[in-house]
Structure 1
Amino acid sequence: MRELLILVKRHMYIYFADKGNIVFTCLSSIIVVMLYAFFIFDTQVDSLVAAMAGTDRAQAVTFVCTWFLAGQITLIIFGATFNAMAIFIDDMKYNGSDVQIFPLSKVKIIVSYCIQAVLIALLFGIGSLTIGTLLVWWQQGYQIPASSLFAAVGVIILGTIFSAVLAMFIVTFMKTAKAFSSVQIVLNTLMGFLIGMYIPIGTLPDFMQKIIFWNPYMSMSVWLRELLAGEQFQQLFAKAPSAQQDKLAVFYGLRAESSDTLWSTSDLALFIASITVIIFAFLLVSFAKKRYTR
């Protein structure tokens, strides 16, 4: 265990030694927020007010802010875990010579990279949650319930574990940092659409919705939206019939649906956890075939 902790500490030291890792992770998040604020935010609020007669604009703004915050947290978790895995690529250049000095099994070495990615992503994810919550409170005077915030931290923890395992699995197929960077840029560009972050998921064609709802990152985003924007959603659509509320919740990505059946939070948790275990199993098989460790 001591060797594992030392290895995790070593990975994190390398990550934070390069300030560019922190800058680019934060910068990408800031760019997304600015693009959304300047080009999409007002349009989405206006369409919401126009669709619901008598809707208070301030309440619509609060809903959209909390709705967007959930997607932003998901996106930064994705970016942070993948950025953290760049260390693995650098280690591969030297055939893992720095890592092989530790008397650890291949499984523990995999876990060491995953742990450091989880810790780094937690820092950014919980940091985004904290900053976003404070901004919503400062700008809109709305305090997200404490119970929802604590539950959101739990979702972030589960989501970072999944994202770290997925990033580790993908990075094992990359031979150069340039190739990994290219893959990361493509995935990061698509991810905003794959989690319904820029526009409500309900505006997409049905076949795309069915595909996207099976994306674990979408499940994470749905869960966070339900926690962070759920109260505002209930107030905003309080006059709508129950069946209509369910449809609107799916439309805005606050609920996941498959075969006309709404998923519960337990379903979302089980789905994310199951995919994580499956990917980790494939990761062990993939890693075992590589001449990287003892």
Structure 2
Amino acid sequence: MRELCALVKRDTKLFFKDKGMFFTSLITPMILLVLYASFLSSVYEDTFRSSLEAAGASVSDKLIGGCVGGELASSLLAVCCVTVAFCSNMLMVQDKVSGARRDLTISPVKSSTLALGYYISTLISTLLVCYAATAVCLLYIRKVGWYLTVKDVMLLLLDVFLLVMFGTAISSIINHFLSSQGQISAVGTIVSAGYGFLCGAYMPISQFSDGLQKVISFLPGTYGTSLLRNHALRGVFEEMSNQNFPSEVIEAIKDSVDCNLYFFGTQVSESMMYMILVGTVLLLLVIYVLLNMLHGTKEK
């Protein structure tokens, strides 16, 4: 335990000491929020307004703002929890390039302890950045239309925590096979460009073809995005219900923004989404530790 704490402290210090790596991780969510608010907010607003007005419902600007703000915030956080983890986890590859990893592997520290040290350090760094992004998103929602309760905010924080664990586990496994700055930059670019589409953050999964929807339903990140959607928009849907909006209209909107997810026609409950996400994180962690143990045995 002492060795693990020392490694976590060492890796975390090095992350914050590297200003380039730290500011790259920190500025990514802010850039995404500006881009989302500038280019996607009007698209989301038109979609929500047309859906509600088509049902003959009178819609206030605040309610539309709550819909847009909840979808933008959930989209942003769903992407950042994974992409920021790749930025924060660059230290693992940098240690290979500088030779520090070789020095650590010849020490009495176990390979599994070394692996967990990188993981926990990346988790802490990514959480700090993503919780800062969450605070900015909540301020944005407060400005455009606030319908969240304390419970909703706490569940959003839990969702972010689990998605960061998921993103850190994925980045740890992938970065285990990388050995140069060029490789990590290439992988980071691919993940940043593609993950948002695969998890339904850039475009709702309901807009994809049936075949692609079935394929994406096997990806755990999809359920993390849906959890964020549900908790960011729960208050909005409750307000719609209080204003006597037709229940079928509300359910149709939930379907359209992926609050309701279906696995081969069967709706997935929130509790099942949590089970899928937690189970995936545990599985990925086991794989990551085993990879490092096998690699450590080969080196010795």
TM-score when normalising by structure 1: 0.91
Structure 1 contact 133–144 (Cα < 8 Å) conserved: no
The separation in 1 between residues aligned to 2:175 and 2:234, in whole angstroms, is 36
Task: Structure 1: state its 5+ residue gaps.
Answer: none
Question: Of 176, 187, 194, which aligns to 1:190?
Answer: 194
Farther-moved stretch of structure 1 (4-13 vs 145-154): 145-154
The residue aligned with 1:162 is 166
Q: State the AA in 1 paired with 2:227.
A: W
Equivalence map 1:96-111=2 (5 Å): 96-100=101-105, 103-111=108-116
Contact 2:112 2:290 in 1 (8 A): no
Q: State the Cα deviation string for residues 70-100 of structure 1 (Å, max 9, x = none).
A: 1211221112211121111111221613423
Q: Between the two proteins, what is the percent identity of the paired residues?
A: 18
- Mapped to 2, the partners of 1:9 and 1:101 lie a distance apart of 19
CA 206–57 in structure 1, closer or farther in 2 if over 3 Å, else same = farther
Task: Note closer, same or farther for the CA distance 1:168–1:61 as it changes in structure 2 (3 Å cut).
Answer: same
1:211/1:233 Cα in 2 relative to 1: closer, same or farther (>3 Å)?
A: farther
Aligned residues of 1:88 and 1:113 also touching (Cα < 8 A): yes
Contact 1:223 1:255 in 2 (8 A): no
Distance in 2, matches of 1:95 and 1:117, equals 17
Whole-Å Cα distance in 2 between the matches of residues 36 and 240 of structure 1? Answer: 29
Task: Give the residue type in structure 2 aligned to 1:114.
Answer: Y
Residues 85 and 168 in structure 1, CA contact (< 8 A), matched pair in contact too: yes
Change (3 A) 1:146 1:52: same
Query: By how many angstroms is 1:240 displaced?
Result: 2.6
Alignment of 1:146-161 (within 5 A): 146-161=150-165
Mapping of residues 1-294 of structure 1, within 5 Å = 1-53=1-53, 54-93=58-97, 94=99, 96-100=101-105, 103-137=108-142, 139-140=143-144, 142-236=146-240, 239-242=245-248, 245-291=250-296
Measured after TM superposition, the shift of residue 143 of structure 1 is 5.0
Report the RMSD for the aligned CA atoms in angstroms. Answer: 2.1
Amino acid at match of 2:229: R
Look up the equivalent residue of 1:165 and give its one-letter code. Answer: A
Instruction: Name the SS for the 1:174 alignment partner.
Output: coil
- CA 1:95/1:134 → structure 2, altered by over 3 Å: closer, same or farther? closer
**Matching residue's letter, 2:108:** P
TM-score when scaled to structure 2? 0.89
| Secondary structure of the corresponding residue to residue 295 of structure 2 | coil
Change (3 A) 1:115 1:25: same
Distance change >3 Å, CA 185–CA 92, structure 1 → 2: same
Q: Which letter maps to 1:79?
A: T
- Secondary structure in structure 1 of the residue aligned to 2:109: coil
SS at match of 1:144: coil
CA distance in 1, matches of 2:92, 2:78: 23
Contact conserved, 2:69 with 2:145, CA < 8 A, in 1? no
C-alpha displacement of 1:102: 5.2
Shift of 1:144: 1.9
Structure 2 unaligned regions, length at least 5: none
Determine helix, strand or coil for the equivalent of 1:257: strand
Shift of 1:247: 4.1
Cα distance change on mapping 1:2 and 1:284 into 2, 3 Å: closer
Cα deviation digits, residues 214-235 of structure 1 (max 9, x gap) = 2222211110111111211343
After alignment, is 69-78 or 95-104 more displaced? 95-104
> Residues 9-54 of structure 1: CA distance to partner in whole angstroms, max 9, x if unpaired?
1101111111112222233222222222222211220122122112
User: Structure 2 counterpart of 1:43, which letter?
Assistant: V
* Structure 1 residue 128, shift from structure 2 partner: 1.5
In the alignment, is the contact (CA less than 8 A) between 2:25 and 2:87 conserved in 1? yes
Counterparts in 2 of 1:61 and 1:254: CA distance versus 1, 3 Å: same
